Amino acid sequence: MKLETTATVALLLFLLLAPPSLRVSMAGSAFCDGKCGVRCSKASRHDDCLKYCGICCASCNCVPSGTAGHKDECPCYRDMTTGHGNRTRPKCP
């Protein structure tokens, strides 16, 4: 019984004293999931859209509104590219 109590107290202390960056990244995930769900709701390749939107959102901490366009709302999201040289294309949906 004492071991369970000690483990519980240790877990609670860890959660209370966790670095702010850990707490932000945990919150950012829910933020990105919600925003990318809206952004990709009409995409024909829904799973791919969610994957790349999530990557971009995690890096930029923003997702443009709506299902397409409006990339000027989030310059970091707009400017992320994939590929090299003259084969560069936008990474974020």
pTM of the model as a whole: 0.66
Tell me which residue range forms the domain holding 77: 29-93
Q: Is residue 40 part of a domain?
A: yes
Q: Is residue 23 part of a domain?
A: no
pLDDT of 13 above 90: no
The 10s digit of each residue's pLDDT in 34-73 is 999 999 999 999 999 999 999 999 999 999 999 999 999 9
How high is the pLDDT of residue 8?
A: 73
Mean pLDDT of 1-10: 68
Q: Is residue 53 part of a domain?
A: yes
* Contact present, 21 and 61 (Cβ < 8 Å): no
* Contact present, 57 and 32 (Cβ < 8 Å): yes
71/3 Cα distance (integer angstroms): 53
Q: What is the mean pLDDT of the chain?
A: 83
81 sits in which H/E element: strand 81-82
How high is the pLDDT of residue 11?
A: 59
How high is the pLDDT of residue 6?
A: 73
Q: Is residue 92 part of a domain?
A: yes
Number of structural domains (the chain) is 1
